[in-house]
Amino acid sequence: MDSQTYINKVHKWGRIWAVITSTCILAYPFILAIVFGAWPKASTTLYALGSVAITFWTVGFIEVLTYTPMLGVGGTYLGFVTGNLSSLKVPCALDSMDKAGVKADSEEGEVISTISIATSSIVTMAVIAIGVAFLSLIYDFLQSEALAPAFDNVLPALFGALGVVYLSRYFKIAILPICVMLVLFIFVPYLNSGMVGIMIPVSMIITLVYSRILYKKNKI
């Protein structure tokens, strides 16, 4: 089977699974309403949905455009169902491709990215399921204030380790977007932790334009 035939098959499988999983996930609140005989008020639900959708549909739209090229075909169909993309699946897939020595845009990259995201999804579900099974035993421990700083700092710990590898490797193209993002997040009060989803594409565009200029000038 040649590469294009395989990719077309992945698209076909992905779309079939997308229909199955989307139906299951989106039908969930309807089944709840039917089972418990309790339908929400349309006006309240639509009002709340509007407020949530303004932010999270924008973030979702941006995530689809930005993460699809990085995740590959299989990784995209899987990653957007299993979630936690920027804090887990994307770094995990990119780290796996890097360690396996394959490019994201090659068929080997497609294979490694899909294996990585599938494994990460299964492990995440398993960890959460184990946690739920023992929740009554560990609830107080997990709620303890002493432990909070560790789990409040997962992203700094993740991006510190990843950052030192990738930013040193691509220092020339990284220096400008890092400076711009640091200045923006420190000096613009409106930019808080909830705004990172919006700022990712801004940062990506700055990096792309800057690296294109450097590339055209033969500086990288």
Partner 1 sequence: MDFSVNHPLIFIMTAVVLLVVAAQSVFFLVKAYRRGVEIGMEKSVLNATIKRSALFTIAPAVAIFIGLVSLVKMLGVAFPWLRLSVIGAVTYELPAAETAVSAMNLPSLTAETMTAQQFVTIAFVMTFGISLSLILAPITCKRITGGMLKIKKKDERWMDLFMASMFVGMLAAFLGYIVCDLGFVQTDAGIEFHYQLEYWIPVFVMFISAAIMCICGILLKKLNWKWLNDYALPLSMVGAMALAIPISILIS
The single residue listed with the structure tokens 């089972």 is: 35
Closest CA to 96 of 72, 123, 117: 117
Give the nearest distance from C-beta 98 to partner 1 in angstroms.
10
The minimum distance between CB 120 and partner 1, in angstroms, equals 4
Binders of partner 1 among residues 129 to 148 (CB under 8 A) are 129, 131-132, 135, 139, 142-143, 146-147
- Give how far Cα 66 sits from Cα of 10, 86, 129, 204, Å: 20, 11, 30, 8
The reply to whether 213 sits near partner 1 by the rule CB under 8 A is no
User: Which 38-97 residues touch partner 1, going by CB under 8 A?
Assistant: 38-41, 44-45, 47-49, 51-53, 55-57, 59-61, 63-66, 68-70, 72-74, 76-84, 86-88, 90-92, 94-96
Q: How far does CA 15 lie from the centroid of its chain?
A: 19
Is 28 a binding residue for partner 1 by CB under 8 A? The answer is yes
Torsion of CA 111, 117, 123, 129, to 10 degrees: -130
In the region spanning residues 163 to 192, those forming contacts with partner 1, defined by CB under 8 A, are 163-167, 170, 173-174, 177-178, 180-182, 184-192
Confirm or reject binding of residue 25 to partner 1 (CB under 8 A).
yes
**Dihedral, CA atoms, 9, 64, 201, 93, nearest 10 degrees?**
-50
Q: How far is the CB of 198 from partner 1 (least distance, A)?
A: 9
